């Protein structure tokens, strides 16, 4: 190995070691946001104690609720599923656009909705049945229809 390559490898290793060290020690320090949550929970406990005259004990759920306010909503909580709109065969038939046909190479290909497809492929729920020189025969919901090349 040449001396130049050794210097480059040594420099890269040194930079990686410095980044690792900085990130390692930075992850060990407590964040200011977690300290704010602890302080706000303590503030709530003090306020409850002043209002009721009794020592306030915060339950785990109260602390979790307080932390939720500071951190925002849980990104992993499942949301309600939205129902997708359904399309009829008549509207769906108008959604396919044949841009071109390529017959060379043994396997015919067509460009439908800006995507290259072959016989047997699915495009927006419709199956490509056959690709001919001037048209593509497709099947959707049990009905067969033909696409011709759009000029344009």
The string of pLDDT tens digits covering residues 101-149 is: 998 878 899 998 888 999 999 998 899 999 998 899 999 989 999 998 8
In terms of average pLDDT, the best of 34-43, 64-73, 74-83, 92-101 is 92-101
Could you report the per-residue pLDDT of 10-65, keeping only the tens digit for each? 889 988 888 888 777 766 665 554 444 445 556 666 666 666 666 656 566 665 66
Of 92, 105, 101, nearest in space to 133 by CA: 101
Domain boundaries, the chain: 3-71, 89-148
Identify the three-state secondary structure at position 145. strand
CATH 3.40.50.1820 given to domain 89-148:
no
What angle in degrees, to the nearest 10, is found between the helix axes of 32-52 and 60-71? 130
Going from the C-alpha of 118 to that of each of 27, 99, 129, the distances in angstroms are 52, 14, 9
């Amino acid at each position: 190995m040449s001396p130049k390559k050794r210097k480059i490898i040594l420099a890269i290793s040194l930079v990686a070691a410095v980044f690792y060290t900085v990130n390692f020690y930075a992850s060990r320090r407590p964040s200011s946001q977690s300290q704010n949550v602890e302080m706000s929970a303590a503030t709530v406990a003090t306020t409850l104690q002043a209002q009721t005259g009794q020592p306030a004990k915060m339950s785990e759920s109260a602390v979790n609720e307080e932390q939720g306010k500071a951190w925002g909503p849980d990104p992993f909580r499942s949301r309600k599923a939205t129902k997708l709109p359904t399309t009829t065969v008549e509207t769906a038939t108008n959604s396919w656009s044949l841009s071109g046909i390529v017959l060379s190479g043994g396997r015919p290909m067509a460009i439908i909705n800006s995507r290259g497809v072959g016989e047997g492929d699915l495009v927006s729920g419709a199956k490509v049945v056959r690709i001919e020189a001037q048209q593509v025969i497709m099947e959707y919901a049990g009905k067969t229809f033909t696409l011709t090349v759009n000029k344009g």
